[in-house]
A and B are shown apart, each in its own frame.
Chain A
Amino acid sequence: MDPKTIICRCSDITLEEVRQAISDGYTTFDEIKRVLRTGMGSCQGRTCMPLILREISVMTGIPQEDLNPGRKRPPVNAVSLGAIAEGEDHDYES
């Protein structure tokens, strides 16, 4: 595959950059996210996460099913501040 292939569409991160981060010792999805911003965009990692886990697996030899897919953060989809502010009152805490 072309090393310039975009892995993270939200932050324009290439395969080459992901591989460099892994060889620099960032061998979990959550660490790579903090170094490269992969998974910090509006898709919340839905596109890049499986691709990055596959690269980690290839480079570390750890089976993909044993890798931590990273911590999920709310909200599931992007919501405008205006829509949240104008929403109805709730009396529960998630």
Chain B
Amino acid sequence: MTMKADIVIIGGGISGAAIAYNLAKKGMKNIVVVEKRFIASGATGACGAGIRQQWGTEMNCKIAKMSCEFFENANEILGYEGDIEFKQGGYLLLASNEKEEEQFKRNIALQNRLGIASKALSLEEAKEIVPMLNTEGFVSAAYHHKDGHLNPFHTTLAFVKAAEKLGVTFMKYTEVTGIDVNGDEIIGVQTTKGYIETSRVVNAAGGQSQDIARMVGLELPIYSERHQILVTEPVDPILSTMVMSFTGNFYCQQVPHGGIVMGRGDAGEPRDGNINSGWHFLEEMARTITKLLPPLKKAMVIRQWAGLYNITPDRQPILGPVKEIKGFYLAVGFSGHGFMFGPATGILMSEIIMGEPTSIDISSLNLYRFDRGEMVFEPSVV
């Protein structure tokens, strides 16, 4: 079977769905999204689904702010019959030492300059927000009340449903097996469900973005790393705010449904695509969180899982076209933050593809910044 498309988007996660929706809204026809499994079955569905604007680089702050403002009205804008379950309970970031406290002060100054109303808190003020917090080992905190959490499946499905209404085709359970290039131009995409003739391809493949790029002979400076999460049985609301530490390497948040979701990074995590759950994580996570929030000792763990962070050298995404192949676009390397950046990714990528000026200047997020040494390192990542 051979199909024709004006553009093929590879990846049915938040980025692919949001790009498809925005392109269709701008009037593009014949948009096909190809997804290996089902909607949000990769990194999007596995993520902690917290969203924050407290970032340490200007680009990450701006993209996060734009996305958060979209989330606030997403049910209405997208005409979703369900609910994306957006809760803005804030993020409390804990500083472990004076160096991190200084970093937070610089971040807050940057955020405030960009219109993000974050603020520094003493440990006493932090305890007013999270009374059960054990502040031992911390010196101060940063807080922003508009950060929060969403349901990653329903948020992605809201984009998918809105895109389908505008004529976008989503091909589930369809794997891309090759991309055909003639000279420096794309001519088609090979899939397990047939061939798609097209001159444009968007790589929004999350943890597999390097594999897709290799299909056109492009090596991305990216690796994919496993990150693990667990969730407890639903309990009454006891934690209004996300509690997070970069040096402590953890985050913990109660979602509206009542479950408490928590995760941590680990330098020893595999980088071979493995997303199986490990026992070591469960122990480390339990020890960390029961010390930090002692009443959670009684919380029952019911499920753990893992997903892939698609990590760039500066932990900022790569957004835009490439020089080597005409019609090949990258929306990759979100470094653990692709879900919360989804709405902005959709808007900005659609503007780039349509040849319009972008709402935010994202020229610094091009692929070639690494060669030129123009990296601005994002310090605030778990």
Contacts and interface: CB of A to CB of B under 8 A. Distances in A.
Interface of A: 26, 28, 30-31, 34-35, 37, 40-42, 44, 73-75, 78-82, 84-85, 87, 89-90, 92-94
B280 interface: yes
Contacts of B299: 80-81
A7 B315 CA distance: 43
B278 A93 contact: yes
Contacts of B303: 40, 44, 73-75
Interface stretch (B24-32, B110-118, B281-289, B346-354): B281-289
B372 interface: no
A90 to B, nearest CB: 7
B278 A34 contact: no
A42 B277 CA distance: 18
A87 B296 contact: no
Given A81-B297, A84-B282, A30 B287 contact: no
B40 A81 contact: no
A81 B286 CA distance: 5
Among B41, B153, B286, max chain A CB count under 10 A is at B286
B273 to A, nearest CB: 16
B224 interface: no
Contacts of B40: 34
Contact of B38 (A30, A40, A73, A93): A30
Contacts of A79: 300-301
B301 A80 contact: yes
Given A74-B277, A81-B289, 17 more contacts: A30-B38, A31-B38, A31-B39, A35-B157, A42-B302, A44-B303, A75-B302, A78-B300, A78-B301, A79-B300, A80-B299, A82-B290, A85-B283, A85-B290, A90-B279, A94-B276, A94-B278
A74 B304 contact: yes
A78 B278 contact: no
A80 B278 CA distance: 17
Contacts of B257: 37
Nearest to A31: B38
B298 interface: yes
Contacts of B279: 90, 92-94
B246 interface: no
B232 A81 contact: yes
Contacts of A92: 279
Contact of B298 (A73, A82, A93): A82
Contact of A42 (B278, B286, B300, B304): B300
A75 B233 contact: no
Interface string B334-378: 000000000000000000000000000000000000000000000
Secondary structure type dominating chain A contacts: loop
Contact of A30 (B41, B289, B298, B302): B41
25 contacts: A28-B38, A30-B38, A30-B41, A34-B40, A34-B45, A35-B153, A35-B157, A41-B233, A73-B277, A73-B305, A74-B282, A75-B282, A75-B304, A80-B299, A80-B300, A80-B301, A81-B232, A81-B286, A81-B290, A81-B299, A82-B297, A84-B283, A84-B301, A90-B279, A92-B279
A57 to B, nearest CB: 18
Count chain B CB atoms within 10 A of each CB in A75, A80, A81 and give the residue with the most: A81
A34 B153 contact: yes
9 A-B pairs with the lowest CB-CB distances in the bound complex, closest first: A82-B297, A84-B286, A78-B300, A85-B286, A34-B153, A85-B290, A94-B279, A81-B286, A85-B287
Nearest to A88: B283
A92 B304 CA distance: 17
Interface string B296-326: 1111111111000000000000000000000
A79 to B, nearest CB: 5
Contacts of A41: 233, 302
Given A35-B153, A81-B232, A82-B297, A87 B41 contact: no
A85 B296 CA distance: 11
B160 to A, nearest CB: 10
A79 B301 CA distance: 5
Given A30-B38, A31-B38, A84-B283, A78 B302 contact: yes
A81 B301 contact: yes
Contacts of B287: 85
A30 B39 CA distance: 11
Contacts of B286: 81-82, 84-85
